[in-house]
Amino acid sequence: MRIGSLFSGAGLCDYGFSLAGFEHAFFCECNAFCRSVLARHWPGVPVYNDVRALSGRELPRVDVLTGGFPCQDVSCAGLRRGMEPETRSGLWKEYARLIAEMRPRYAVIENVPGLRSKGMDRVLEDLARIGYDAQWQTVSAAAFGAPHIRDRLFIVAYPHRDRSLRKPGLLFAPARDLGALPQPGRLFAWSGAGPAGSGRKAARNLYRGPTICRVDDGRAGQLDGPVRLISRAEFKLYKARIMALGNGITPLQAWYVARCIQMDMGGCSTA
């Protein structure tokens, strides 16, 4: 199964799809640092830099088109300006345009839960206008073992009536139904519901590992070394990496969505 990725960031969502066995046909990302990360981990795959310049008629055909358009203007942590043309979140219109031009079997739209109250109606109306139905679900990172909640909304769209005639019912399967499949990490029993509440205790109830951890920054030999001042260039790189991670998701959240799509297609890979 081939996948095209828009608003790719550093490829955290894409890594989840790769774990499920999807093959990437192209990426599109405006941030130069993130493009360098994509080029390193998916060598030879085209990486475009402007979604507005893409033409669906010229891109490779894919089974799945995925991407998380900018969330700043729909996030509860932002100014909630919505999806007007002058906003960053207004780039959704380019995503909708490419879905209409490419007509993939599935389109996966990832964003923050704030979209449900600030722009969800626009997304669903645009999908309906171009002939796509949709299902959606909020997926918690804590449900897949992360020591934080980090809810993300996933909308999976497909051509109108195509799926309902072939396989009626819910596309999103409870994670327990995926438990028998090969998986890249420990999968927690999860009914599809989010944590009970928004506090730290609610997240810890879902997370079964240690609540204090550190992330390897790529320099394992220096993790326990002496503290030293870093150069301006090192700080710039560190800042770029932190921003890329902050704009991403936990890969297993995307892996779960990818598995649901594979089950809906009628098969699954052994990745």
Q: What angle do CA 197, 200, 153 make, to 5 degrees?
A: 55
Task: Please give the C-alpha separations between residue 18 and each of 4, 144, 193, 257, in angstroms, as whole numbers.
Answer: 12, 17, 25, 12
Angstrom distance (rounded) from CA 80 to CA 72: 8
Task: Look up 71 and say whether it is catalytic.
Answer: yes
Residue 193 CB neighbours (<10 A): 12
Active-site option among 13, 28, 34, 71: 71
CB atoms closer than 10 angstroms to residue 191: 8
Q: Is residue 125 classed exposed, middle or buried when 0-12, 13-18 and 19+ CB atoms within 10 A define those classes? A: exposed
Distances (CA, A) of 64 to 61, 81, 157, 207: 9, 29, 10, 30
**Would you please indicate which residues are annotated as catalytic (active-site) residues?**
71
